[in-house]
C-alpha cells in the first residue's frame, strides 16, 4: 500500500496516475474535500480507499498500525494559498500535521517523501538548498521552511528515506480546482480564449514589462522525480524540483499564443500589495538533485505548455 496525502489535489492526483501507470492501485488517498470539486481529479484514478485528513491524523494519534504497512508515504497535502495570512491555520495544516506524519514514518521506517516549496527562498537570487539562502516572504513559505528545518534535524538519526522536494512553479493537468492559485499557463490560456488577449504584469522589481522570470516545471516532471526517488530509497535530503532554467512571463504568454495562432499581450499595473513580497525571479539550482543521481531531462516551457494546452482542449477545461 502507498499513502498519498493531498491525493485529490493537483500534484497528488497526477502522482496517483503515475503510480497507476506502474500497475499500483493499492493507494490510500488522504485529502480534505471541503472543496468538493476536487473529486473530479480522482474519477479516472484507481485507488484502494479514501480517508479524510483528520481520519489519518486520528489513526496516527491512536498508535495503531495499518493492517498492511505502507510501502511509502507521499505527503503532498498542504494549504498552498500563498495569500493566506491565518498563521495558526497554516502552521497546524502545514507544520504540525507534517511532523505527525514524519514521526509515524520514522518510527516504522517507512519512506517519507513530502512537498516543500521554492517559496522558502523569498526574494533571493540564489536558489540552493542551504540555510543562508532561505528567507520566506509569507506565512505559507515560512511553514514550509520551518518543516524543512525540522527535517534537517531529524535526518542524522533517520533509519529510513526522508526526502523533501522544493517545487518551483508547477503547471499542468488537474489544477483547475485551484482557481486563483492555478498556474499562469492555465489563466493565460483561458484569457486568450475569452478575450483574444492575455494579461501580464507591467515592469517591477527591476524587470521590464512581462520580464519577471520563474522556473516553470510541468507536473509530469515532478511526478517523474517523485517516482525516481521511490525507486532509490538510499537518497535522502531536501532537493529543488524545477527545470533549472527560468523563463520570462512573456515567453509563457507567447508559448500559449503560439498554440492557437492568435492573440496579443496587455500589460497591467503591478499590484501595490505585492510590492516587496513577490518573487520576480526563481530558478532552481539542480546541483544537489543531479549529484544524487537524477539525470532525466525536463520539458521546456514550449514543450510543456503545448502538451498542457492540448490536454485542456481535449478535456474541455475552462
Question: DSSP characters for the chain?
Answer: -EEEETTTSHHHHHHHHHHHHTT---EEEEE-TTSGGGGGGGTT---SEEEEHHHHHHHHHHTPPPSS--SEEEE------TT---HHHHHIIIIIHHHHHHHHHHHHT--EEEEEEGGGGTT-S---SSGGG---SSHHHHHHHHHHHHHHHHGGG-SS-EEEEEE-EEE-SS-GGGGGGS-HHHHHHHHHHHHSEEEEE--BTTB-TT--EE-EEEHHHHHHHHHHHHH-TT--EEEEES-S--EEHHHHHHHHHHHHT--EEEEEPPPGGGTTS--SB-----HHHHHTT-------HHHHHHHHHHHHHHTT--
Instruction: Supply the residues annotated as catalytic.
Output: 140, 178
CA distance 221 to 284: 14
Amino acid at each position: 500500500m502507498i499513502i498519498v496525502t493531498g491525493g485529490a489535489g493537483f500534484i497528488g492526483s497526477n502522482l496517483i496516475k503515475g503510480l497507476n501507470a506502474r500497475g499500483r492501485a493499492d493507494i490510500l488517498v488522504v485529502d480534505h474535500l471541503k472543496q468538493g470539486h476536487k473529486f473530479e481529479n480522482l474519477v479516472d484514478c484507481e485507488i484502494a480507499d479514501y480517508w479524510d485528513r483528520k481520519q489519518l491524523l486520528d489513526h496516527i494519534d491512536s498508535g495503531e498500525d495499518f493492517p498492511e504497512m505502507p510501502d511509502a508515504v507521499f505527503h503532498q497535502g498542504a494549504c498552498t494559498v500563498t495569500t493566506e495570512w491565518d498563521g495558526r491555520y497554516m502552521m497546524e495544516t502545514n507544520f504540525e500535521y507534517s511532523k505527525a506524519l514524519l514521526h509515524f514514518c520514522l518510527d516504522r521506517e517507512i519512506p517519507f517523501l513530502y512537498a516543500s516549496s521554492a517559496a522558502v527562498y523569498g526574494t533571493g537570487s540564489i536558489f540552493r538548498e542551504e540555510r543562508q539562502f532561505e528567507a520566506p516572504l509569507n506565512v505559507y513559505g515560512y511553514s514550509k521552511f520551518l518543516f524543512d528545518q525540522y527535517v534537517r534535524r531529524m535526518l542524522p538519526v533517520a533509519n529510513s528515506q526522508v526526502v523533501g522536494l522544493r517545487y518551483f512553479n508547477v503547471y499542468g493537468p488537474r489544477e483547475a480546482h485551484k482557481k486563483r492559485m492555478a498556474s499562469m499557463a492555465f489563466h493565460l490560456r483561458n484569457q486568450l480564449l475569452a478575450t483574444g488577449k492575455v494579461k501580464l504584469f507591467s515592469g517591477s522589481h527591476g524587470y521590464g514589462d512581462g520580464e519577471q522570470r520563474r522556473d516553470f516545471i510541468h507536473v509530469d516532471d515532478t511526478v517523474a522525480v517523485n517516482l525516481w526517488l521511490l525507486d532509490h530509497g538510499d537518497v535522502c535530503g531536501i532537493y529543488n524540483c524545477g527545470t533549472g532554467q527560468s523563463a520570462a512571463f512573456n515567453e509563457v504568454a507567447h508559448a500559449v499564443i503560439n498554440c492557437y495562432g492568435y492573440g496579443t499581450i496587455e500589460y497591467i499595473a503591478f499590484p501595490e500589495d505585492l510590492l516587496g513580497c513577490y518573487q520576480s525571479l526563481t530558478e532552481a539550482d539542480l546541483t544537489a538533485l543531479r549529484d544524487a543521481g537524477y539525470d532525466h531531462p525536463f520539458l521546456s516551457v514550449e514543450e510543456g505548455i503545448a502538451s498542457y494546452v492540448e490536454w485542456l482542449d481535449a478535456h474541455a477545461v475552462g
